[in-house]
């Protein structure tokens, strides 16, 4: 055994070549006059205490020594003042440097720059340069570094960028909190985009991901990536990471958060969590004689854990889902336009969904010219939904995307839907004995598996919506007799349920108005008339008609106030604000007009007061109605198509041959299907 005497931990060691000494080698320390050999841990602790006392004595003597030396020689160099030694994170020294690649993603502990050399023995050092050399020796070139630490003290990003390596910082707290969903979305998108670009390269580069030790936060992010790209089971993804970076994630709250996020339960309802590694043991003091932090948080005290109350009242104004990176949102917008077969241009930031027009005496005649079905007009929030392999995205009227964790299996129950676009509305049902429940009423399908379906008639798209989207979910849930069920995934943990909205022939309009709508568990304000043979028409669809109860006809205005509290009411015309001279909005006593200034206000016409009356604030919209929409609503208000008049018209229309013939075909088809199901007669 080799012994070192008069060891000075402040002395800068000679730079070492990381390839000359393996990282697992330990530095042996001893004293020639001792009768026994201390353990490395006992020696290190004793030397820390001796060093703390020596530092204290030297700092007291610093001033007197400096003064006497300056008297002896005015040109003598100033003695070096003792600065704080940068201490490596607790457990870092013995933590393995990195794991094996997982789909070209390398988990690693944080590399420390040379300013940490005084506290890190030569054989334990792991800088960015040493990291790169080790990976190159293994035949791997690093192209992207994703830093998950919540500090900037370990190294400068320039260590990567100067050598042409892309660097991304996603700061995540390491104490009492798992990475938030927005950070996860950013990580997964960064990794997906980088690796997708590498597919075209003959020599694809790798991603290096690190937190402090490369296990919990790093594992949490990589498992999210696996779940959204390759694996469909949390337990499998956790196992893959643990095999490539032993022992894997060892914090129970991280593992529980993964199961909860992906709405799964572990086998036998038991979460397996490996014990804390031997190298992750807290020490009493650091080299400065102070208590050591167990993480890299620069923010002081840990933030409170976020727990939503289960009793929280849900509303249509709630913001659903998690924010996605700006670049991803732009890419998803382009994808939606492609799936809808819309040309890209300056206007690709506008919501492309189909909009109905108000029913009036003129377009009412369309019901006589084309075959229509009817459904109720729910008073909910409009969303398109883009279903991708790596997540589902709610698309609001502002054409903003937010990710929600949902599951849409293929019809065969083998794999998940990808690049599928549907349309619908979010409603809140008041369910007896259960309270408020969110439901997404899907009513159209525009693309399936990256193939646009917009040119198909509505009747086919509506049927595909049931067969390809709704029924596979029901089958997997085991709701149908003999269906295959997935016991691991819990659909009831999703943010909302999904149903297909019903449509009926015009003959049933009276029953819809008199029986169905009054029995609904959510609000409805009228009817929608959908052309049965129509393609999907983006933006304003002149053949898609909406009828509202006369008192519910409304216009969405932009409301503003001047400094002297004068009302300004705006619409849009050719994408610009248009002031509606003389327009006025009345508010109820419990609404302060100044509190809604700058907001979109949905208003109905008050005939008695000859002004607009505020119905609600449209939190889901950022722009008012177009002037043309306003004119159509005003035409509808003027024509005043009441419920009685509408029923008279539909009764007359359904007697037309176009409707009567189709109704006869439907009746004969149903009778034939019924006869085929009857048992043979003896």
Q: Which residues are annotated as a binding site?
A: 382, 397, 423-425, 546-548, 616-621
Which residue carries 């854990």 as its tokens? Answer: 305
Burial of 71 (C-beta count, 10 Å sphere; 0-12/13-18/19+): exposed
473 in Cβ contact with 440 (< 8 Å):
no
Helix (H) or strand (E) holding 442: strand 435-448
294 in Cβ contact with 282 (< 8 Å):
yes
Which residue carries 């790209």 as its tokens? Answer: 229
428 in Cβ contact with 496 (< 8 Å):
no
Which residue carries 């001893």 as its tokens? Answer: 30
Q: Residue 122 corresponds to which tokens in the numbers above?
A: 């030569």
What's the start-to-end Cα distance of the chain, in Å?
A: 101
12 in Cβ contact with 117 (< 8 Å):
yes
217 in Cβ contact with 172 (< 8 Å):
yes
Helix (H) or strand (E) holding 548: strand 540-548
262 in Cβ contact with 224 (< 8 Å):
no
Nearest 5°: the CA angle 371, 373, 378 is: 150
Catalytic residues: 211, 377
- CB burial readout 346-357, b (16+ within 10 A) else e: eeeebbbbbbbb
277 in Cβ contact with 250 (< 8 Å):
yes
Return the DSSP state at 268: G
DSSP β-ladder status, 401-404 and 206-210: unpaired
248 in Cβ contact with 238 (< 8 Å):
yes
Q: Between 216-229 and 234-244, two packed helices, what is the crossing angle to 10 degrees?
A: 130
Quick one: which of 207, 180, 174 has its CA closest to 192?
A: 207
Return the DSSP state at 62: H
214 in Cβ contact with 126 (< 8 Å):
no
225 in Cβ contact with 190 (< 8 Å):
no
Question: Which residues, including other chains, have CB under 8 Å from residue 145's CB and lie 6 or more apart?
Answer: 160, 165, 166, 167, 168, 207, 208, 209, 210
363 in Cβ contact with 378 (< 8 Å):
no
Task: Output the CA–CA distances (angstroms, integers) from residue 436 to 428, 432, 535, 623, in the order listed.
Answer: 6, 9, 35, 29
Q: Residue 289 corresponds to which tokens in the numbers above?
A: 């004689």
d(C-alpha 59, C-alpha 288), whole Å: 13
Helix (H) or strand (E) holding 677: helix 657-677
274 in Cβ contact with 268 (< 8 Å):
no
389 in Cβ contact with 310 (< 8 Å):
no
Query: How many Cα atoms are found within 13 Å in the side-chain-facing hemisphere of 202?
Result: 0
Q: From the annotation, which residues make up the binding site for GTP? A: 382, 397, 423-425, 546-548, 616-621
Helix (H, G, I), strand (E, B) or coil at 76: coil
């Amino acid at each position: 055994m080799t012994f070192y005497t008069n060891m000075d931990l402040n002395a800068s060691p000679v730079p070492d070549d990381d390839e000359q000494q393996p990282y697992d080698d330990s530095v042996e320390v001893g004293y020639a006059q001792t009768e026994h050999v201390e353990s490395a841990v006992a020696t290190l602790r004793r030397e820390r205490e001796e060093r703390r006392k020596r530092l204290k004595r030297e700092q007291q003597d610093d001033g007197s020594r400096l003064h006497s030396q300056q008297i002896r020689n005015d040109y003598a160099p100033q003695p070096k003042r003792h600065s704080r030694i940068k201490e490596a994170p607790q457990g870092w020294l013995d933590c393995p440097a990195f794991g094996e690649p997982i789909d070209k993603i390398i988990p690693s502990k944080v590399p420390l720059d040379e300013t940490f050399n005084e506290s890190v023995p030569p054989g334990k050092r792991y800088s960015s340069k040493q990291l790169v050399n080790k990976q190159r020796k293994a035949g791997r070139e690093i192209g992207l570094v994703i830093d998950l630490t919540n500090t900037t003290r370990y190294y400068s990003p320039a260590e990567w960028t100067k050598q042409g390596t892309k660097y991304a910082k996603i700061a995540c707290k390491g104490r009492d909190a798992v990475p938030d969903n927005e950070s996860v979305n950013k990580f997964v998108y960064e990794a997906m985009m980088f690796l997708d670009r590498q597919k075209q390269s003959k020599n694809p580069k790798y991603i290096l991901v690190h937190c402090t030790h490369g296990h919990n936060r790093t594992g949490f992010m990589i498992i999210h990536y696996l779940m959204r790209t390759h694996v469909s089971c949390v337990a499998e993804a956790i196992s893959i990471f643990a095999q490539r970076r032993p022992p894997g994630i060892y914090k129970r709250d991280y593992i529980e958060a993964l199961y909860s996020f992906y709405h799964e339960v572990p086998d036998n309802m038991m979460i397996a969590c490996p014990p804390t590694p031997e190298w992750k043991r807290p020490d009493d003091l650091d080299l400065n004689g102070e208590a050591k932090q167990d993480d890299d948080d620069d923010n002081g005290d840990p933030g409170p854990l976020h727990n939503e109350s289960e009793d929280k009242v849900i509303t249509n104004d709630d913001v659903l889902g998690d924010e996605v990176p700006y670049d991803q949102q732009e890419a998803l917008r382009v994808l939606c336009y492609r799936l809808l077969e819309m040309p890209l241009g300056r206007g690709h930031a506008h919501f492309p969904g189909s909009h109905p027009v108000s029913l009036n005496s003129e377009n009412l005649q369309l019901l006589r010219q084309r075959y229509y079905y009817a459904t109720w007009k729910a008073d909910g929030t409009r969303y398109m939904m883009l279903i991708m392999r790596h997540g589902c995205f709610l698309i609001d009227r502002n054409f903003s995307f937010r990710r929600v964790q949902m599951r849409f299996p293929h019809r065969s129950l083998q794999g998940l839907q990808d690049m599928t676009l549907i349309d619908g509305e979010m409603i809140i049902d008041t369910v007896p004995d259960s309270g408020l429940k969110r439901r997404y009423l899907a009513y159209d399908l525009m693309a399936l598996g990256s193939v646009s379906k917009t040119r198909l008639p509505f009747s086919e798209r509506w049927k595909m919506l049931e067969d390809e989207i709704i029924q596979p979910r029901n089958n997997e849930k085991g709701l149908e007799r003999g269906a295959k069920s997935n016991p691991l995934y819990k659909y009831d943990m999703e943010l909302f349920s999904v149903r297909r909205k019903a449509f009926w022939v015009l003959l049933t309009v009276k029953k819809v108005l008199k029986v169905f709508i009054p029995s609904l568990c959510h609000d409805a304000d009228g009817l929608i008339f959908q052309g049965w043979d129509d393609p999907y028409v983006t933006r304003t669809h002149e053949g898609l008609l909406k009828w509202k109860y006369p008192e519910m006809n409304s216009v969405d205005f932009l409301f503003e106030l001047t400094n002297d509290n004068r009302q300004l009411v705006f619409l849009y015309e050719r994408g610009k604000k248009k002031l509606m001279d003389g327009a006025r909005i009345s508010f109820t006593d419990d609404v302060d007009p100044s509190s809604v200034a700058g907001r979109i206000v949905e208003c109905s016409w008050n005939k008695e007061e000859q002004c607009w009356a505020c119905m609600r604030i449209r939190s889901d919209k950022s722009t008012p109605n177009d002037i043309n929409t306003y004119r159509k609503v005003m035409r509808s208000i003027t024509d005043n198509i009441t419920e009685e008049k509408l029923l008279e018209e539909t009764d007359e229309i359904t007697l037309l041959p176009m409707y009567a013939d189709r109704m006869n075909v439907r009746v004969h088809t149903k009778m034939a299907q019924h006869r085929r199901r009857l048992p043979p007669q003896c």
